[in-house]
Structures are given as structure tokens and as C-alpha cells.
Amino acid sequence: MNHSPRAESRGRFALDNRIAVVTGACGKLGPIWIEALLEAGAKIAALELSDAPASSAYSAIEEREPARVHRFDCDITSRSSIEGAAAAVMTRMGVPDILVNNAGVDQPPDSGGNRSRIEDLPIDEFRRMLDVNLTGTFQVTQVFGAAMAVRGSGSIVNIGSLYASVSPDQRFYDHLPGDIPFLKSPAYGASKAAVVNMTKFFSTLWGARGVRVNTLSPGGVLGGQDDQFKRKYGARVPLGRMAQAEDLKGPLVFLASSASSYVTGHELRVDGGFTAW
Ligand SMILES: NC(=O)c1ccc[n+]([C@@H]2O[C@H](COP(=O)([O-])OP(=O)(O)OC[C@H]3O[C@@H](n4cnc5c(N)ncnc54)[C@H](O)[C@@H]3O)[C@@H](O)[C@H]2O)c1
């Protein structure tokens, strides 16, 4: 391990030369997790669907850090795709020290043409959300987590949500136009609550083998929401606002690094107190 002066100053939060896998790397939060891990000294295996366009935030990181960020194709709903990605990551970079299970699907409130009443919600949409958010997280953990357990060390961070704990307040969306009101799917929170529970399962299974498993549950993250939503949402948050990128980085590095060496099976809510009210 390289103990550079910067690493010394970061102390137990240092991740120098650690290998971190981040799934769903090219979306909104993926680049935030990647920046946080890079700032702490890690190298990144960025896993993403082969046909997913890279966000400008992701492209900027890849361009700036070509030696420390590598993209690998991976569909987390396919075991063979995950195994292919794992083989490629391990050949090119080694066995990962950190896994951030970030890939997930939600339905954006602007999907106006695609709304359903609860009694008509297509079951395929419900299943799809569980398939990616829950089953996908399980399969990625099977493949990468098992390699960490064999090696005898690792930190897995599952990205949950405030909606793992509470139901979405549908009034946040009642100003949106449309014949059928926007309804945030019950599958989303159910999938995230299941991830919180599965986190506990793996923390107990692999605790004795040196692998810690925790959930980081963000509140709503600022970016692209309309003003009315932001006002209604902010009024529900004890800290009075949506989360910003910088709010998420410290908690991730804490869970990924030895700063949290005695923390496992935990859900760290980074929601400005939303779920305290
Ligand atoms: N944005 C928020 O406010 C917020 C709040 C709480 C929790 N979260 C959670 O954070 C995570 C990231 O959210 P985001 O806002 O960046 O979403 P996003 O939609 O911007 O990004 C998700 C990424 O996952 C990828 N993905 C989807 N299906 C995949 C699959 N089968 N295999 C591999 N990759 C796949 C997508 O291509 C996309 O790049 C999700 O788990 C989400 O539930 C987000």
C-alpha cells in the first residue's frame, strides 16, 4: 500500500490504490460516487449497460482520469453479463476491494404519456423494477462479493433510498399536468426496502470473512426537478433542501473505507432528516 502524504492526511478515510466497482456508473449519481472514490485515492471499474449513453459528468471524469477509470459493459439483470464483466475487471485491475451497487431504475415524474392508475399498473413494470433494483443487486453481490469473501476483505455499499423507509408523498407531484395523476410506483420503495434487508443478510453471512455490507440511502438529489417540486420537497426536509453531490460523497467514503471498520449491516440515511419527521 502506498502511504503518500495525501493518504496520511486522509487517515482511515484513505482508499489509495483500492479497486472500486460502481454499477450504473453513467447515470446521475454514478459520477458522484466515482468522484468521491477517486478523491479518496481509489481506481474505478465503471459498470454500465453497453448501450447506455455516458452522461457529460461521467465523460468528463473518464477523460480526466484515463488511468484510474475504466468502463466495462454489464447488465446487472444477466448473470452471464455480470460474470463477463467480473472476469474483465479482475484480469485488468484485480479483485475489487469495494462494490457500490448503484444501478437502479425508477420512473421519472415527467413520464406524462405513460401513466397508470394503481389498479392498472402493468405488472411487467412492477417486475422490472424488482428485477433491476433487487435481483440485479443480489446477482452482482453473488459474483463480486463472493470473490471478496474468498480473498477475506471488502466493503459493499448498496444504494438504497429514503423510500426504503417511508412511502412517497404523492402530493409532491399533484401540480403536474395530465389526465391521470403521476403516481410513484410502490415497486420502487418495496425494492429498496428489500435491499436494506438483503444488506443485513450478506453482512451476517460474510462478516466473519472480512466483508462488510451496508446500505447508503440518499434522499432526493437536486437536478432537473421543477420549482414546485423542489419547494414542496424542501418543506418536508428538516435541513430544508434536497441533497447535493457533496452531501453524498463523505458518507460513501466513510462506508467504503476503514473509517467504518466496525460498521456492517447498517443503513446510513443521507436524507437531510426526511425520515426523522
Ligand atoms: N437520484 C436520486 O435522487 C436518488 C435518490 C435516492 C436513491 N437513488 C438511487 O441511486 C441509484 C442511482 O440513481 P440515479 O439517480 O443515478 O439514476 P439514473 O437513472 O440516473 O442512473 C442509473 C444508472 O443505472 C443504469 N442501469 C439501469 N439498469 C441497468 C442494468 N440492468 N444493468 C446495469 N446498469 C443499469 C442506467 O443505465 C443508469 O446509468 C439508484 O439505485 C437509485 O434508486 C437515487
Give the Å distances, CA to CA, from 251 to 3, 13, 46, 172, 238. 23, 10, 20, 27, 18
Least confident piece of the model among 102-111, 140-149, 170-179, 258-267 = 102-111
Active-site residue list: 188
Task: Evaluate whether residue 26 is within a structural domain.
Answer: yes
Sheet holding 267-270, edge to edge: 69-73, 43-48, 19-23, 98-101, 154-159, 211-218, 267-270
Range(s) of the domain holding residue 118? 11-271
Task: Evaluate whether residue 46 is within a structural domain.
Answer: yes
**What is the per-residue pLDDT for 114?**
75
- Specify the residue with its C-alpha closest to ligand 1, atom 19: 27
- Let me know: does 128 contact 134? Beta carbons within 8 Å: no
| Residue whose CB lies within 8 A of the most ligand 1 atoms, among 105, 110, 127, 195, for a mutation test | 105
For the cut 80, the answer to whether the pLDDT of residue 2 exceeds it is no
- Please state, for a pLDDT cut of 70, what percent of the chain lies above it: 96
Mean pLDDT of the chain: 95
| Residue whose CB lies within 8 A of the most ligand 1 atoms, among 28, 58, 143, 274, for a mutation test | 28
Task: Evaluate whether residue 3 is within a structural domain.
Answer: no
Domains contained in the chain, number: 1
pLDDT digits over 8-61, tens only?
678 999 999 999 999 999 999 999 999 999 999 999 999 999 999 999 999 999
* Residue 112 pLDDT class (50, 70, 90 cuts): low
Judge residue 238's burial from the number of C-beta atoms within 10 Å of its C-beta, 0-12 exposed, 13-18 middle, 19 or more buried: exposed
**What is the per-residue pLDDT for 67?**
97
Task: Evaluate whether residue 4 is within a structural domain.
Answer: no
pLDDT digits over 257-267, tens only?
999 999 999 99
The CATH number of residue 56's host domain is: 3.40.50.720
52 CA → ligand 1 middle, Å: 12
What torsion, rounded to 10 degrees, do the Cα atoms 167, 172, 174, 175 define?
-170
Task: Evaluate whether residue 1 is within a structural domain.
Answer: no
Task: Evaluate whether residue 108 is within a structural domain.
Answer: yes
Task: Evaluate whether residue 197 is within a structural domain.
Answer: yes
